[in-house]
Structure 1
Amino acid sequence: MKMSSKEIKKTLHPRNKHISGYDFQRLVKKNVELKSFLVESPNGQSTIDFGNPKAVFTLNKTLLLLHYDMQHWEIGKNSLCPPIPGRVDYIHYVADLLAKDHNGEIPRGPKVRVLDIGTGSSLIYPILGHQEYRWSFVATDIDQQSLHHAQLNISKNESLKKAIELRFQPNKEHIFKGIIKPKEKYDLIVCNPPFYSSREDNWKSTTKKFQNVTKNKEAIPVQNFGGHANELWYEGGEKAFIRSMIYESLDFKDQLGWCTTLVSDKNNLKPLIAVLEFKKAKDIEIIKMEQGNKISRILAWRWS
């Protein structure tokens, strides 16, 4: 599939810098490397081949350079390459969530503390959250190598050095335990949980998506956004991960404000909401996000 610059219009958050699509002329001017990946869409517009992992990475790297002043951004080998328009949408929607407790004004600055669960090597939510709203972040991961690359992104961008702290989660069974320190408080939790329940489940989905993109049933599947095991699958899949997240957040309810997570499968919402209602969450919200044909949701809750 090739996406033209107009195909993401009118579906993104109103404050999203990418709501009018990709300005490839400005992007190429900022990073000439992108030029070699440009192709012409059927309607005669400039675009890239979204089935090409290098093209996807170069596009997103250039978006971060042009719009978010990221002078350096790299990801680990085979790591997830996040699509910037969709990721910053999450940040804008949770900013609106925080605004509800501040007379409609989005709280900005380092006093707003955010915890990012599973930051990956891209460090994408802390980067976007800080560059857009100057929030401060603690970013966690269970993979040391991912945190190594994340630290490189921090150390090579001056604006990030005092804004983001990385923490390693040594126990894959825990999400908040071993991370949140006594007396720490967070205004917001963000999370993009692993979606698949197994390697086999992930491979089947990858193959189907790749064949739809390339229109070639014989081509060897390639994930255009990559992904390490811990980024892609968790025993029991997305629903099990978020359920664990809900139960653990209850243990830290006095230290947490809004807890949020992406939910890719809408069928997971009802059972997760049932858990939250059973545990008497004070507030529960579902925020719908759209980007082109892709629809995802943010599940948000708080205990007090």
Structure 2
Amino acid sequence: PPFHASEADMAREAQRKWRGLDKSRRQRGNASRKGGSRNAPALNFAGQAAELWCPGGEEAFVTRMIQESRNVASQCLWFTSLVAHSASLTGIRKALKRSGASEVRVVEMSQGQKVSRFVAWSYLSPDQRRQWGRNHWQGK
């Protein structure tokens, strides 16, 4: 999902990350660069503006996704979304409770110092999920 609440928030976060990278380089003794100038892109991640931010940020985006998932609850075994900011989880969990999800899982992942997580939810009971699996993976 888009992680940022606005284009300005996205730009501030990119600047913060670049400052952190510059500090890390200086601490390792690599402060000098070719030609003495920084030719870094404005962002340290790829994507179109509409993919990187939306009003309300990732919490609002995932909350809308949860609301929409309710309309197709029986057509999918699990719904999932990446959640970059742990602060978003409180609102997301509340939305999942309101939606009537029968099971919710939050799985943390890390690579280096970066910690993210994904949230998974299902509207099907454990018995319904087993039956769904038998019907969809082993043939009807």
Name the TM tier (shorter chain): 0.7 to 0.9
Quick one: which amino acid aligns to residue 276 of structure 1?
A: L
Give the Cα–Cα distance (whole angstroms) in 1 for the partners of residues 116 and 45 of structure 2. Answer: 17
Give the number of equivalent residue pairs.
Answer: 111
Sequence identity (%):
35
1:1-304 to structure 2, matched below 5 A, reads 193-215=1-23, 219=38, 222=41, 223-304=43-124
CA contact (8 A) 2:14 2:44 kept: no
**Secondary structure of the structure 1 residue equivalent to 2:77:** strand
**Secondary structure of the structure 1 residue equivalent to 2:69:** helix
CA contact (8 A) 1:206 1:221 kept: no
CA contact (8 A) 2:4 2:52 kept: yes
Is the helix fraction higher in 1 or 2?
2
**Secondary structure of the structure 2 residue equivalent to 1:196:** coil
**Secondary structure of the structure 1 residue equivalent to 2:100:** coil
Q: CA RMSD in A?
A: 1.7
Quick one: which amino acid aligns to residue 246 of structure 1?
A: I
Label 1:268 to 1:245 Cα distance change in 2 as closer, same or farther (>3 A).
Answer: same
CA contact (8 A) 2:66 2:99 kept: no
Q: Deviations over 1:222-262 (max 9, x none)?
A: 22323211221011110000000000000011111100111
Aligned-residue offset at 1:221:
5.6
TM-score computed with the length of structure 2 as normaliser: 0.73
> Any unmatched runs of 5+ in structure 1?
1-192
CA contact (8 A) 2:73 2:123 kept: yes
Q: Deviations over 1:181-207 (max 9, x none)?
A: xxxxxxxxxxxx010111110000101
> Any unmatched runs of 5+ in structure 2?
27-36, 125-140
TM-score computed with the length of structure 1 as normaliser: 0.35
